[in-house]
């Protein structure tokens, strides 16, 4: 077997912090005084940095007084609110591990996560109480807001007890336990230590700056590792003002961008698509906006360029996964206009990468596609209670196999082509759904699109597109397929097409291709056999 081709970062290595995550993030908070830390984008309620530091101390004391101990797991089930970071850091300061849940989760899925994570306490909000109570079993359920008949974490702010002084082994102790499907479909608890999250913040710092002069909009969910890292940990560590929105509402998002003079927007590709194509962005003042970051799913280069021009801001991409705390690649500040189209950027400091052929298992050369393997201090400790699945993802030499197909050029710029499991094998050729989706989105008749592999009557796997028509479009299936055919190699063409109302996506903006596959399977099962 040839020697592996290990790619290293062009940036100097960073130190791995030995401090707990709340301290890594909030060490300078109290000294910032009245500078606004968190602003409710709907009500205008503001928490200053001095208040944030004080609230975390008091709430941590309250948690300790109420029996939260090191090693406990606190489940945080809430949309974005200004109190979310307070609860997160306070639970951490009391020594607990925080497991985060989507505000859209079902009671059944929530119950599974609570059982699997061994959660001891559930914290939710009034509107989500029925789901939380149904899922919690005999666990106590507290709320962030004031709800009659339920304890509120706001009561803890009145605690006069001592601030917990919990010894933390940053390299071993799990700070947060988000759930991820990884490269398989079943959600698993991802053990991220205080050190793995902390070092990722130091790595991001080298390529990307944020400071007290920045105002950012927190529309990505805090429960998801992208929102948790960039909108909470990075932003509050660097003294930025975080304008919090509970969910993505287009009109509300645009109003906040304009009225709060947002300087940096961190979004997923569906929002970039709106920035590029939606008429609601016309005629608004986004002159404060200097930078847009797209991550969580692949972004078409042309779409990104249109959005960048329209918004008058630099637009770059980043790459990572929950199991990597999450970042490994980022387009460095100030380079987006000169970087290759569609790049995910440069490799983080203190990070190694390989590109390995799915077919041969050997490392590929410059410009050739291979599965991205990563090794670095931001890697997770493992999947909670799932050693076998951990060993499947991370090999004996410490390389985490991401399941993503990528390339790197001679200047160290990386691209992601698609997922290993999403690739369509058409007559022996590998077809990347993301590439076809990007082509479809270039059509003025297409508002959104997703592509999966389906089997035709001959038993061959073929690309099928699910397309949302642009408003006012009367394009037929043949029209859209012809548009793609004119712009792609014969083996990459869309062979089947179906118009749908909306493309299913996760809260972080990833296309849920598995849902389309399930729908397709159900539809085929109902078809009469000839």
How high is the mean pLDDT of the chain?
94
pLDDT score for 424: 84
Region 84-99 average pLDDT: 98
Question: What total number of domains does the chain contain?
Answer: 2
pLDDT interval class at 490 (50, 70, 90): confident
Q: Which two tokens stand for residue 50?
A: 């001095």
The answer on 492 and 358 residing in a single domain is no
CA distances for 269 relative to 248, 305, 485, angstroms: 13, 12, 24
Residue 5 forms part of a structural domain: no
Residues 6+ apart with CB under 8 A from 254: 280, 281, 284
What is the helix (H) or strand (E) element at residue 275, kind and residue range? helix 269-277
The answer on 372 and 443 residing in a single domain is no
What is the helix (H) or strand (E) element at residue 63, kind and residue range? helix 49-65
Helix axes 49-65, 84-93, angle to 10 degrees: 50
Q: Which residue has the tokens 């709060």?
A: 260
pLDDT interval class at 182 (50, 70, 90): low
Residue 15 forms part of a structural domain: no
477-488 tens-digit pLDDT: 999 999 999 998
The answer on 295 and 178 residing in a single domain is yes
The answer on 257 and 230 residing in a single domain is yes
User: Longest C-alpha distance within the chain, in Å?
Assistant: 76
pLDDT interval class at 247 (50, 70, 90): very high
CATH of the domain at 486: 3.30.300.30
The answer on 145 and 200 residing in a single domain is yes
Residue 6 forms part of a structural domain: no
Residue 4 forms part of a structural domain: no
Residues 6+ apart with CB under 8 A from 184: 389
Question: Which pairing describes strands 264-267 and 241-244: parallel, antiparallel, or unpaired?
Answer: unpaired
The answer on 186 and 225 residing in a single domain is yes
The answer on 304 and 177 residing in a single domain is yes
The answer on 188 and 64 residing in a single domain is yes
pLDDT score for 209: 92
pLDDT score for 527: 59
Residue 10 forms part of a structural domain: no
Residue 242 forms part of a structural domain: yes
The answer on 491 and 377 residing in a single domain is no
- HSE, CB side, 13 Å, CA atoms: give it for residue 25: 31
Region 70-81 average pLDDT: 97
192-220 tens-digit pLDDT: 999 999 999 999 999 999 999 999 999 99
> In percent, how much of the chain has pLDDT > 90?
82
49, pLDDT greater than 50: yes
> Which of 408, 442, 460 is the last residue before a domain boundary?
408
Domain residues for the domain of 174 are 21-408
Residue 416 forms part of a structural domain: no
End-to-end Cα spacing for the chain: 50
pLDDT interval class at 530 (50, 70, 90): very low
pTM (predicted TM-score): 0.86
pLDDT score for 431: 82
Note whether 405 and 358 are within 8 A (CB): yes
The answer on 502 and 401 residing in a single domain is no
The answer on 172 and 49 residing in a single domain is yes
The answer on 367 and 432 residing in a single domain is no
Q: What would you report as the CA-atom Rg of the chain, rounded to the nearest whole angstrom? A: 23
pLDDT score for 468: 97
271, pLDDT greater than 90: yes
Query: What count of residues does the chain have?
Result: 530
User: Which DSSP state fits 173?
Assistant: S
61, pLDDT greater than 50: yes
Residue 12 forms part of a structural domain: no
pLDDT score for 529: 40
CATH of the domain at 36: 3.40.50.12780
Instruction: Between 512 and 137, name the one with better pLDDT.
Output: 137
pLDDT score for 432: 81
Task: Classify each residue of 235-268 as buried b or exposed e, where b means 16 or more C-beta atoms within 10 Å of its C-beta.
Answer: bbbbbbbbbbbbebeeebbbebbbebebbbbbbb
pLDDT score for 189: 97
111-138 tens-digit pLDDT: 999 999 999 999 999 999 999 999 999 9
Q: Which two tokens stand for residue 88?
A: 């997160």
């Amino acid at each position: 077997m040839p020697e592996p081709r290990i790619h290293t970062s062009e940036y100097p290595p960073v130190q791995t912090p030995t401090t707990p995550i709340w301290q890594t993030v909030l060490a300078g908070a109290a000294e910032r005084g009245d500078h606004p830390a968190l602003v409710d984008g709907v009500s205008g309620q503001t928490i200053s940095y001095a208040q944030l530091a004080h609230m975390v101390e008091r709430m941590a004391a309250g948690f300790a007084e109420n029996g939260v101990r090191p090693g406990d797991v606190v489940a945080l089930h809430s949309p974005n609110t200004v109190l979310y970071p307070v609860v997160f850091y306070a639970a951490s300061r009391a020594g607990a591990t925080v497991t985060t849940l989507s505000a859209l989760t079902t009671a059944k899925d929530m119950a599974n996560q609570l059982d699997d994570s061994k959660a001891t306490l559930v914290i939710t909000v009034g509107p989500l109480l029925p789901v939380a109570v149904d899922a919690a079993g005999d666990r106590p359920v507290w709320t962030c807001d004031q709800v009659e008949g339920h304890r509120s974490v706001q009561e803890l702010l009145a605690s006069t007890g001592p601030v917990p002084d919990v010894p933390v082994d940053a390299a071993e102790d799990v700070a947060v336990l988000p759930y991820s499907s990884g490269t398989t479909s079943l959600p698993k608890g991802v053990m991220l230590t205080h050190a793995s999250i902390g070092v990722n913040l130091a790595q991001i710092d080298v390529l990307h700056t944020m400071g007290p002069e920045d105002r950012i909009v927190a529309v990505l969910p805090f429960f998801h590792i992208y929102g948790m890292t960039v909108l909470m940990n990075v932003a509050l560590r660097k003294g930025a003002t975080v304008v919090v929105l509970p969910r993505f509402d287009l009109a509300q998002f645009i109003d906040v961008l304009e009225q709060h003079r947002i300087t940096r927007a961190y979004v997923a590709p569906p929002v970039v698509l709106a920035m590029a194509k939606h008429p609601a962005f016309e005629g608004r003042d986004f002159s404060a906006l200097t930078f847009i970051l797209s991550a969580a799913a692949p972004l078409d280069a042309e779409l990104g360029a249109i959005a960048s021009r329209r918004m008058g801001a630099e637009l770059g991409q980043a790459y990572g996964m929950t199991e990597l705390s999450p970042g490994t690649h980022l387009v460095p500040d100030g380079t987006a206009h000169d970087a290759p189209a569609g790049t995910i950027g440069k490799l983080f400091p203190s990070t190694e990468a390989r590109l390995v052929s799915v077919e041969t298992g050997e490392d590929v050369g410059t410009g050739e596609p291979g599965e991205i393997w990563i090794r670095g201090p931001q890697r997770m400790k493992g999947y909670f209670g799932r050693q076998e699945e951990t060993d499947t993802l991370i090999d004996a030499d410490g390389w985490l196999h991401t399941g993503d197909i990528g390339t790197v050029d001679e200047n160290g710029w990386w691209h992601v082509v698609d997922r290993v499991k999403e690739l369509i094998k058409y007559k022996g050729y590998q077809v990347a759904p993301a590439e076809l989706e990007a082509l479809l989105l270039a059509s003025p008749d297409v508002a959104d699109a997703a592509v999966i592999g389906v089997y035709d009557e001959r038993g061959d796997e073929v690309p099928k597109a699910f397309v949302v028509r642009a408003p006012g479009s009367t394009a037929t299936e043949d029209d859209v397929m012809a548009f793609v055919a004119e712009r792609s190699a014969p083996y990459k063409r869309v062979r089947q097409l179906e118009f749908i109302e909306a493309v299913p996506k996760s809260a972080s903006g990833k296309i849920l291709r598995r849902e389309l596959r399930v729908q397709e399977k159900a539809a085929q099962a109902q078809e009469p056999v000839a």
